[in-house]
Structure 1
Amino acid sequence: MVSRDHKLSMRKQCELLQLSRSRLYYQPVGESAENLRFMEIIDKQFLGHCQRNLG
């Protein structure tokens, strides 16, 4: 896709691909421990509710 070693500048490569340069440098951030715990609680509640309705 975009190469630092290409003869075209990174800006020009992004322009030709209609890609924002900021997307090249974006580093996704993982979920916090607190958020993971909340998701686990919600999953347990949801799955428990679904199993009760199926039985």
Structure 2
Amino acid sequence: ADQCELYDLNNDPHEMTNLYDDPKQRDRILDMTARIRIWQAATGDEVDLPRV
């Protein structure tokens, strides 16, 4: 299965620290997931996203 990933490219340009499981990023992840779901609905994209 795919692993969820979130990186701070300004401070971690080599993507060494995955922030996805960082509790401080929860609101950001929820917001980004909601935006992706809106885009999916608008474009007919039916790929399942991981549950957040």
TM bin, normalised by shorter chain, reads 0.3 to 0.5
Give the number of the structure whose residues are more often helix, by fraction.
1
TM-score scaled to structure 1, two decimals?
0.37
TM-score (norm 2): 0.39
